[in-house]
A and B are shown apart, each in its own frame.
Chain A
Amino acid sequence: MLFNSLEFAVFLPVVFLFYWFFFQNNLSLQNLLLLVASYVFYGWWDWRFLSLIILSSFLDYNVGLFLARTSNTTKRKVLLWTSMLFNLGLLGVFKYFNFFAENFAILLTNIGFHPDPFTIQILLPVGISFYTFQTMSYTIDVYRGKLHPTRDIIAFFAFVSFFPQLVAGPIERATNLLPQFYKKRFFNKARSIDGLRQILWGLFKKMVIADNCSTIVNDIFTNYEEQNGLTLAIGAVLFAFQIYGDFSGYSDIAIGTSRLFGFNLMQNFAFPYFSRDIAEFWRRWHISLSTWFRDYLYIPLGGSRGHITQKVRNTFLIFIVSGFWHGANWTFIVWGLLNALYFIPLLLAKRNRLNTDVVAANSNLPNIREVGQVMFTFAITCFAWIFFRATNLEMSVNYIRLMFVRLFDSTTIYPLGLLPCFIIILVAVEWMQRREQHGLDLTRFKASRTIKWLCYLIVTILILTFNGNQQDFIYFQF
């Protein structure tokens, strides 16, 4: 079920009431309730998806236990690889099979053979890219000795399927989330209120920003050949806001919902469009995925140590894999490649860790230099998003070509209605809140309760009045 749906609006309070009123003193029952609720939540899309997540959970639970029982290096490696191959195999079959089959057929055609590509008609289970990575982090951390394997099967299954973050992240580390299932949770009013604020802000970003952008973006990208360059540029910018609103909105709702149940999830977006360079952008965008690749792929490959060619190779690899994680299409790979090309000059010049604090940390407004840096980083990010949004490479290239060729053809732009106002509100609020955890984090806001409630009321009415046509969250397709 979608977060912005009637079903979820009924589901959440019911689970909340059972959780805090009937099972509050029994940790096992609380975890069991979360597990059942999570399976109901996930099965709402398609009950058949449950079989895969249960299988993945069962396998990794047992791999964890077997890893604890043996100190034999070979056996431990075999166990680890069993888990990795199974989880990656699931991804391979459900997500990438047709991509490889079709491209293999194209390759064979180019060398003179003419096979019929064998493709499978298969439904991509929602969230598979997220929970497989989450369970792999468990087995890898157990293997590395960073985490004791759990014997509590309910807690483990609940950790894998935890409904707030199951289908679109954040991709939680077992070291962070799993121990929270062992500890008694107490209701905390301040945390719950802030959780509700975060949910509200997430809904604003998703329903007002992302859904309204998507209507216009879909039209521009579908009919891009008929648009002038300015409209195409606007289409790319709006997509940047759409994907940010959609994905960070979902993360905010996920984190806020978790806090209602006493769980703390990691921050997944830290106002990435205020980044001064691409390295900072990638420390602020989809943090759970980028840190996952850093810890489980980049660092084991040597990271940024070693020879320059090794550093460049590792960087390319990570960004390409990250692109490929998003989808079985060459456009995602090119998107990853482009980001690698943006990043490598900074890495080689040792400027990739220059901007680690928040922009304009000690002032209310950025200076001219910071404005330039932020605008430039945003522009190159928008350029890369064109590949992300386009359906194939040919379309991406044509889109970009037409955008530049027709840039000064006409000053007529696509009618945007009130969307620019909403985007201004988003940017203004997030700018003011750039030091906080989320846009409506008013914990340190020194204002009366009346003012705060007025803010909540305005945001809620904006959501209820200007929500766009309901769209699926973009990242559900991953």
Chain B
Amino acid sequence: MEINRISSTSNFKNLTMRAFLFRLSLFIVILIATGSLLKNISKKYVSTFYGNDCIDVKYIEFMDLMENFNSIIVGSSRLYRNLDPTILDTTLAEYQLRTYNLACPATFNPEAYIILERLLSEIPEGKIKYAFVELQELDLIAPENIYTKKYYWLEAESVKYIFAYTANSQINYLMKGYIYTSYAAAYLFQQIEFSSISKLINRNTPDSLYLGRHGNGYFTIEEHAKSLPEGNKYQQRHLDLLKNPKKLAERAQTPTPSTENTNLQSNSYHLQYLSQLISIANKKGVQVIFIVSPKLEISQELIDTYSQLPMENTIPIEKYCYLPEYHQISYNFDVGHLNRDGSTFFSSAIGSAMKDKLRNRTY
């Protein structure tokens, strides 16, 4: 044991091992420093949303066509595919809404909020009347995504947001530990994630397929599936649902969080952040309307947070989210997304709920 103890320290005292480890560490430090420098320079010359190909192209289109719109939708694919601006505008025709769907796949909390903040900073006051924003739980990082351009938005401010959000969340400690670790790792990896440099050199134009075919950013999942080669991932997901329709029945049986929960589990930091977002939006004449999209699992924390938002910034959730029709297979494309018919139903429900709200407004 004594020999082993001496020998296990001797390797560290061994000059060649120390020199090797020192050189390796020095190289890594130089790499990170050089990489950060190159990355920060390249970010000045590429679009803000270089890591999200969908937002990259839609944001540009929206800014070019801003004159044609006075309302926007921001969120993930659950709004990108499910909320039809045409139906929304038709339902709310008396309010002369012209809505652009700026939602994109995999655009979660807080990226969606960051996009909205950026937009608010760039639009003239009074240009946009309404911003329909998807209220979401914090995105959990899948391990395979830790070192990807998906987290291009991860800077010191957003890391602070994530840590504070998590600290105030009701989730268990294991999950909190995972969030802290994964986001810290993702932030570190972003220092050597050079897709901004690649984008600068390649000068690829973003894929305009994301813009959809309706001129308003809306793109149903059926249309997307048809525009790709046979056997694409969307078709696969659709077939998976057809083979296992019971997943919808499971969803129907999942108890929905109560909107009248007296033992409130809201996330106070999230609430505070959203209040600031509302305030920023108000200064630009934009009324933010938060939406909870129907999906497999909605946490009580999210609903409680939603319940505590000002009335003028929400729509009663029972009117559009907790409807049994969402569990019908005739309204679903895959487990996570409605099909065209389901989208029509959802959009009409939101539109009607919004119309009631605007007609009966007491604020």
Contact = CB atoms under 8 A, between A and B. Distances in A.
B7 A24 contact: yes
Nearest to A456: B27
Contacts, number: 62
A193 interface: yes
Interface in B229-253: 229
Contact of A187 (B16, B147, B193): B16
Interface string B133-154: 0000000000110110000000
Contacts of A6: 143-144, 146-147
Nearest to B143: A6
Contacts of B323: none
A113 interface: no
Interface string B184-197: 00000000111101
A235 to B, nearest CB: 17
Given A188-B16, A193-B23, A465-B201, 10 more contacts: A6-B144, A22-B8, A25-B7, A193-B20, A418-B202, A461-B38, A464-B193, A464-B194, A465-B195, A466-B198
Q: Is the interface of A mostly helix, strand, loop or mixed?
A: helix
Interface stretch (B29-37, B99-107, B280-288, B293-301): B29-37
B17 A189 contact: yes
A107 to B, nearest CB: 30
Nearest to A25: B7
A222 interface: yes
Given A457-B30, A460-B31, A24 B8 contact: yes
A356 interface: no
B147 A21 contact: no
A7 B30 CA distance: 23
Given A20-B17, A193-B23, A464 B229 contact: no
B210 to A, nearest CB: 18
A25 B146 contact: no
B35 A196 contact: no
Interface of B: 3-4, 7-8, 11-12, 14, 16-17, 19-20, 23-24, 27, 30-31, 34-35, 38, 143-144, 146-147, 192-195, 197-198, 201-202, 204, 229
B27 A189 contact: no
A310 interface: no
9 contacts: A6-B143, A6-B147, A7-B143, A21-B8, A24-B7, A26-B4, A192-B20, A464-B35, A464-B194
Contacts of B19: 189
Contacts of B198: 465-466
Contacts of B27: 453, 456-457
A116 B326 CA distance: 43
A270 B139 CA distance: 47
A189 B202 contact: no
Given A457-B30, A457-B31, A465 B197 contact: yes
Contact of B11 (A21, A192, A193, A456): A21
Contacts of B20: 187, 189, 192-193
Contacts of B202: 417-418
B194 A187 contact: no
A192 B229 CA distance: 46
Interface string A2-32: 0000110000000000001110111000000
A193 B202 CA distance: 33
A286 B144 CA distance: 31
- 8 A-B pairs with the lowest CB-CB distances in the bound complex, closest first: A25-B7, A465-B194, A189-B16, A189-B20, A465-B197, A465-B198, A464-B194, A24-B11
A24 to B, nearest CB: 5
Nearest to A22: B8
A254 B92 CA distance: 63
Interface string A26-46: 100000000000000000000
Interface string A419-463: 000000000000000000000000000000000010011001100
B334 to A, nearest CB: 22
Contacts of B204: 417
Contacts of A222: 229
Contacts of A20: 11, 17
Nearest to A19: B11
Contacts of B147: 6
Contacts of B143: 6-7
Interface in A214-254: 222
Contacts of B34: 457, 461
From B20, B31, B146, B195, residue with most partner A Cβ within 10 Å: B20
B146 to A, nearest CB: 6
A30 B146 CA distance: 32
A188 B198 CA distance: 37
Contacts of B12: 21
A339 to B, nearest CB: 33
A6 B4 CA distance: 32
Given A25-B4, A25-B8, A187 B17 contact: yes
A222 B38 CA distance: 37
A464 B14 CA distance: 32
A196 B24 contact: yes
A6 B11 CA distance: 27
